[in-house]
Amino acid sequence: MPYRLMYSQTSRDQIRSLHPHIKPIVKAGIQKLKENPLQGKALEKELSGYYSLGTKRFRVIYNIDHQSHIVQIHYVGHRKDIYKLFKEFLAKL
């Protein structure tokens, strides 16, 4: 059974603001999560429970609800600072 994708408002805004050449690559990577949500790398320490999917120089941070078959996309950004920015984002919640 394929998983459903759910996007946070933050991730929607981040995807919208991507460069037009990068946007379809990131979206294609996200679509692949429907069939295999475990293809990303499991994150550790403060970010345990989340996964990171690499698409070119960008990363998609998400988590998986196996019970409901939902992949929740939380954050999208450049690999150089996405983990730091996501930790700061979580601290504000």
Could you read off the pLDDT tens digit of each residue along the chain, which spans 93 residues?
Answer: 799 999 999 999 999 999 999 999 999 999 999 999 999 999 999 899 999 999 889 999 999 999 999 999 999 999 999 999 999 989 987
CB atoms within 10 A of CB 71: 24
pTM, entire model: 0.92
Output the pLDDT for position 93. 77
Instruction: For residue 69, give every residue at least 6 positions away whose Cβ sits within 8 Å of its Cβ, in sequence order, or none.
Output: 1, 2, 3, 4
**Residues comprising the chain, all counted:** 93
Output the pLDDT for position 66. 93
Query: Domains in the chain: how many in total?
Result: 1
Output the pLDDT for position 71. 97
Question: At 23, which CATH number?
Answer: 3.30.2310.20
